Amino acid sequence: MGTEVLANFQTHILTAAHCCDAYPISRYSLSIRAGDIDQELDEGSEQFVDVASVTMHEDFNNPVPFSNDVCWLKLADSLVFNE
């Protein structure tokens, strides 16, 4: 799933609601991996953080499929930004 980390929100991730809707999500089953360039290699820059809550747009798929396709993930811990 592709996501966007917003610069001033080290504890929030913006992604597509269809990515959140496709899987049964609970605090214990969802985590994010940030800072990964190549998923096949352990580069040492990866961060794994649990997701504390998921908020999908209340009108996702309404009035047409994939409209309002936005989901906000609140992380259990802050991401560490580097230069």
Of 49, 43, 66, 39, the C-alpha closest to 13 is: 49
Q: Whole-prediction pTM value?
A: 0.75
State pLDDT tens for residues 24-38.
655 557 888 887 777
Give the class (CATH, top level) of 3-75. mainly beta
Confidence at residue 69, expressed as pLDDT on a 0 to 100 scale: 93
Per-residue pLDDT averaged across 60-77, rounded? 90
For the chain, the domains span 3-75
Q: Which residues contact 69 (CB under 8 A, 6 or more apart)?
A: 16, 17, 18, 57, 60
44: Cβ contacts below 8 Å, ≥ 6 apart: none
Q: Residue 1's pLDDT band (boundaries 50, 70, 90)?
A: low
What's the pLDDT at 83? 63
Asked if pLDDT for residue 21 goes beyond 60, the answer is yes
